Structure 1
Amino acid sequence: MTTDSESRDPAVVLPDREVEPGDGAAGPLELEAVIARQVRRYRVAAGLSVGDMATRVGISKAMLSKIENAQTSCSLTTLGRLAIGLNVPVTALFRGVDAEREAVFVPAGHGARIARRGSRVGHLYELLGALRGPHKRMEAVLVTLTESSEVFPLFQHPGTELLYMLEGEMLYGHGEASYTLRPGDALQLDGEGTHGPQELIEVPIRFLSVTAYGDHPPE
């Protein structure tokens, strides 16, 4: 008999249950189908038979067969065991459940021009699209410097920035260090450190600036 305290215990995990036809708990069996496909794919890639995998995970061969055929709904405990046995994160078993994701396509030459520090002294910034809300974890900008550009702005911002030179040559500073950047060169830096162009050696200069903000996107 289950006591009231046991029923309220958040650590109690529901057992695996059979999936009945018409059961809408996971949205037309989509979740079970995705887990089945991922478990089978990772198991085959690891070179494991159903029996070997069942032994490694600590479940019966029949149960693993049901999981791989989307005939059962896994408990969190079983999903955790499967992930450990396959040496993948638990989230890997759900890949494909939410297939539709936001994407932004910007044709060549159609990026929105934005105002940044340095805009008034000839620094042209072309935004190459940005996702919105919590998915805005990176920002890509095409920067162009010409004869009319002045070496002026110094930047500081959260996140990590990657610069990739496309054209021209410049001396770029970060903190106390300086780097000569030519086409094909890349510089990755901590955005919290002061950084910016120090000398425009050969213009026009074009480089791609990609800033990754991690789990804390800018407002």
Structure 2
Amino acid sequence: MKDDSTVNERIAQQVRLLRSERGLSLDALSTQCGVSRSMLSLIERGETSPTAVVLDKLAAGLGVPLASLFDDPARKAEPVSRHADQVTWQDPHSGYLRRNVSPEGFQSPTRIVDVTFPPRTRVTYEAGPRTPAVLQQIWILEGRMQITYGSESWLLETGDCLVIPLDAPNSFHNPGDVPARYAVVLTTLSRS
């Protein structure tokens, strides 16, 4: 597991690179993603560990999957992602732990993330329509999770899998007394 400062620096480098590639000022990105200019500045300097909710807004504003914000822009793409090299990040608000499983640097439309979610914890994302569209499949590996998408809600048990687009508010809640673990498979849908 990489320490927080290393992960924060990766996020900082990736956000600066993506913002530059899109020709956006801090003010323009702030408007586009709904994150304050001062928070964006702190993120780009690696001086804060943003929450999952802030990272999700930032990813939506930049038009990338959240998982890509943890990529090392200087790393050469390799077809194998070794467990020891996979970036692990902990949400400072909820304590949930996410590990990017997919190899970095490939232009694959699919990303895999392994999540360990603490008991009695909830994270709510204010997701709206994304360009390009992103579909997520949530496969419960251990425990159970209550997933809410818009006005619909499902209690998922070990082995269950739910597919939902990332185009409406959604929330993840572990109602149990033990951590839950699940895989998220994110697929960026091609523009037609």
Scaled by the length of structure 1, what TM-score is found?
A: 0.44
Higher relative contact order (CA 8 A, sep 6+): 2
Scaled by the length of structure 2, what TM-score is found?
A: 0.50
Q: Quick check: which has more Rg, 1 or 2?
A: 1
